[in-house]
């Protein structure tokens, strides 16, 4: 057994930063969520059916679920004893689950969903002025459904969501149906690719649908009517951004891409699987935030298709997405990636050397240096290998790990294999040292 693995049935994961999120003893294959939501009172009623496989014999197990009332739990159709406190739903099935056995858990629950409080603020289900959104990175998924909330346990999803008909509902996944019945509409989405719980999202609002770009990848947007004109300017080059990133990284990894613009302001855009969410403040008709459009789209490759196996590897998400900003700037006639790299190298060099991006620590997972120095590492690697070899490496990285989980060690090993020479010294100074090395060349 992996010495870092949690005990069978433990209500902790093996994550080095967030062990309280995620659980031991099983892996989820599929979530089926039947949800009904009332916007005005912010009232959610749900039934989650979770199909899983036991990695050990289980007399008990747990799920992550925040402050919603659990009414009933069934395991393989039989009522199970349960206890729900401190964000954990602890279940004791009527019959133990054998190792390697498939089992099914049904949880009926309801309440007023609220974001999860943590060191990064309020995360998860959030009420809007007229609607709701979900922004779950890194610990917010339990705010709206019971789950094994760790990025390494990727599963498939079906989500049925019923709410009042004036509202549009966007869920990460492919729209299967939208059925009107009386004053309500039931929207059904399926997410067929393995998906981390934090990358599942629901957006509820009074939106108008807009085509982002035509092409082999459907690109759609849902936008408040008052923002359509400004949105048309800010996202006018979205098709070009998509084509540029496909050239750099390889084929787009999902069947669709959806942008949602809320009628409220957001601190930062939000990525989900096959979806990005922007606030009204990110749409000004001046393309002020176009770099963020590229950044969030790049997360579909880095973070969503290739998902980190442990939160300490967060630079693999944010460094790549930040470097995508610089690549798009260069491709679209703006400042080159080299110019961005030199600018940020100078800025970071002026700060105390106090962060190693291969292991920034839980308190600094989302530190600006993780983003910018992560991008600097990739630019330095590009200078080390040359453009042809560097981009071939990135496309191979994306293709070999599509819809899987990855670590820093996976990337450095593939880079050395691709370069056909050891890169230990290079990665030691760029990833493992707090001192900022000079840019190569």
Among 161, 147, 175, which Cα is nearest to 62's? 147
In a domain, 42, yes or no: yes
Confidence of residue 352 (pLDDT cuts 50, 70, 90): very high
Give residue-wise pLDDT tens across range 294-334: 999 999 999 999 999 999 999 999 999 999 999 999 999 99
Q: Read off the pTM.
A: 0.96
Domain end marker among 300, 327, 347 = 300
Both 236 and 337 in a single domain?
no
Domain end marker among 163, 187, 204 = 204
pLDDT above 70: percentage of residues in the chain: 98
In a domain, 254, yes or no: yes
Report the b/e string of 325-346 with b at 16+ CB within 10 A: bbbbbbbeeeeebeebbeebbe
Read off the tokens for 53: 């496989």
Specify the pLDDT at position 9: 65
C-beta atoms surrounding 421 within 10 Å: 10
Query: Looking at the predicted structure, is the pLDDT value of residue 7 above 80?
Result: no
CB distance 171 to 256 below 8 Å: no
Q: Total structural domains in the chain?
A: 3
In a domain, 12, yes or no: no
Confidence of residue 118 (pLDDT cuts 50, 70, 90): confident
What does the alpha-carbon distance between residue 373 and residue 319 come to, in Å, rounded to a whole number?
7
Give residue-wise pLDDT tens across range 175-195: 999 999 999 999 999 999 999
Average pLDDT taken over every residue of the chain = 96
Give residue-wise pLDDT tens across range 213-244: 988 999 999 999 999 999 999 999 999 999 99
Domain end marker among 248, 271, 300 = 300
What does the alpha-carbon distance between residue 17 and residue 4 come to, in Å, rounded to a whole number?
13
Helix (H) or strand (E) run with residue 156 in it: strand 155-164
Confidence of residue 284 (pLDDT cuts 50, 70, 90): very high
Both 198 and 49 in a single domain?
yes
In a domain, 412, yes or no: yes
pLDDT, average across residues 288-292: 98
285 torsion bin: left (phi>0), alpha (psi -120 to 50), beta (else)? left
Give residue-wise pLDDT tens across range 49-62: 999 999 999 999 99
Specify the pLDDT at position 8: 64
Specify the pLDDT at position 24: 95
Both 294 and 321 in a single domain?
no
Q: What angle do CA 365, 371, 372 make, to 5 degrees?
A: 135
Specify the pLDDT at position 3: 37
In a domain, 57, yes or no: yes
Confidence of residue 4 (pLDDT cuts 50, 70, 90): low
pLDDT, average across residues 36-49: 98
pLDDT, average across residues 382-391: 97
Specify the pLDDT at position 215: 86
Query: Looking at the predicted structure, is the pLDDT value of residue 5 above 70?
Result: no
CB distance 191 to 227 below 8 Å: no
Long-range contacts of 98-101 (CB under 8 A, 24+ apart): 98/54, 98/57, 99/54, 99/55, 99/56, 99/57, 100/53, 100/54, 100/55, 101/53, 101/54
Of how many residues is the chain composed?
441
In a domain, 281, yes or no: yes
Residues 6 or more apart whose Cβ sits within 8 Å of residue 53? 26, 27, 29, 100, 101, 102, 103
Specify the pLDDT at position 287: 96
Both 263 and 279 in a single domain?
yes
What does the alpha-carbon distance between residue 379 and residue 391 come to, in Å, rounded to a whole number?
11
In a domain, 53, yes or no: yes
Both 315 and 266 in a single domain?
no
What does the alpha-carbon distance between residue 151 and residue 304 come to, in Å, rounded to a whole number?
10
Both 266 and 391 in a single domain?
no
Both 72 and 195 in a single domain?
yes
Both 183 and 219 in a single domain?
no
What does residue 416 show for φ and ψ, rounded to 5 degrees?
A: -65, -40
In a domain, 138, yes or no: yes
Both 37 and 125 in a single domain?
yes
Query: Looking at the predicted structure, is the pLDDT value of residue 1 above 80?
Result: no
CB distance 130 to 39 below 8 Å: yes
Q: Comparing 3 with 127, which gets the higher pLDDT?
A: 127
Read off the tokens for 8: 């069978």
Both 230 and 92 in a single domain?
no
Specify the pLDDT at position 391: 98
CATH number, residue 107: 2.60.40.1730
Read off the tokens for 289: 């935030």
Q: What is the DSSP letter of 97?
A: B
Residues 6 or more apart whose Cβ sits within 8 Å of residue 423? 384, 412, 415, 416
What does the alpha-carbon distance between residue 251 and residue 258 come to, in Å, rounded to a whole number?
17
Confidence of residue 441 (pLDDT cuts 50, 70, 90): confident
Specify the pLDDT at position 132: 98
Read off the tokens for 50: 């979770």
CB distance 315 to 357 below 8 Å: yes
Both 196 and 217 in a single domain?
no
pLDDT, average across residues 346-350: 97
Domain membership of residue 159 as a residue range: 26-204
Q: What is the DSSP letter of 94?
A: S
pLDDT, average across residues 186-208: 98
pLDDT above 90: percentage of residues in the chain: 95
Both 286 and 351 in a single domain?
no
């Amino acid at each position: 057994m992996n010495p870092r693995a949690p005990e069978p049935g433990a209500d902790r994961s093996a994550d080095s930063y967030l062990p309280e999120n995620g659980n031991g003893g099983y892996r989820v294959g599929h979530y089926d969520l039947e949800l009904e939501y009332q916007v005005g009172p912010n009232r959610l009623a749900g039934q989650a059916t979770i199909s899983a496989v036991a990695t050990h014999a289980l007399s008990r197990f747990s799920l992550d679920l925040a402050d919603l009332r659990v009414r009933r739990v069934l395991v393989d159709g039989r009522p199970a004893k349960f206890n729900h406190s401190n964000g954990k739903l602890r279940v004791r099935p009527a019959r133990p689950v054998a190792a390697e056995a498939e089992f099914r858990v049904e949880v009926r629950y309801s309440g007023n969903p609220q974001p999860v409080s943590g060191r990064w603020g309020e995360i998860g289900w959030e009420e809007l002025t007229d609607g709701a959104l979900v922004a779950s990175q890194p610990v917010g998924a339990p705010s709206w459904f019971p789950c094994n909330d760790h990025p390494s346990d990727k599963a498939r999803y079906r989500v049925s969501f019923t709410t009042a008909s004036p509202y549009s509902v966007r869920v990460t996944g492919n729209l299967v149906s939208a059925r009107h019945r009386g004053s309500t509409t039931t929207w059904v989405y399926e997410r067929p690719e393995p998906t981390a719980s934090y990358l599942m999202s629901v957006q509820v609002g009074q939106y108008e649908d807009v085509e982002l770009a035509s092409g082999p990848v459907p690109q759609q947007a849902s936008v408040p009517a008052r923002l359509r004109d400004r949105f048309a300017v800010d996202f006018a080059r979205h098709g070009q951004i998509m084509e540029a990133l496909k050239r750099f990284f390889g084929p787009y990894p999902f069947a669709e891409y959806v942008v949602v613009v809320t009628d409220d302001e957001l601190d930062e855009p939000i990525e989900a699987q096959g979806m990005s969410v922007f606030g009204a403040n990110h749409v000004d008709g001046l393309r002020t935030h176009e770099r963020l459009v590229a950044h969030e789209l790049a997360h579909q490759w880095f973070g969503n298709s290739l998902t980190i196996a442990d939160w300490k590897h967060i630079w693999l998400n944010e460094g790549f997405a930040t470097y995508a900003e610089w690549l798009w700037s260069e491709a679209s006639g703006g400042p080159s990636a080299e110019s961005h790299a030199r600018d940020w190298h100078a800025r970071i060099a002026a700060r105390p050397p106090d962060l190693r991006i291969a292991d920034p620590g839980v308190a600094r997972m989302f530190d600006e240096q993780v983003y910018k120095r992560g991008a600097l590492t990739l630019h330095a690697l590009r200078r080390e290998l040359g453009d042809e070899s560097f981009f071939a490496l990135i496309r191979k990285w994306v293709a070999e790990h599509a819809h899987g989980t990855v670590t820093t060690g996976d990337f450095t090993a593939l880079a050395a294999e691709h370069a056909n020479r050891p890169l230990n010294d290079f990665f030691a100074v760029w990833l493992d040292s707090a001192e900022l090395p000079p840019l190569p060349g």
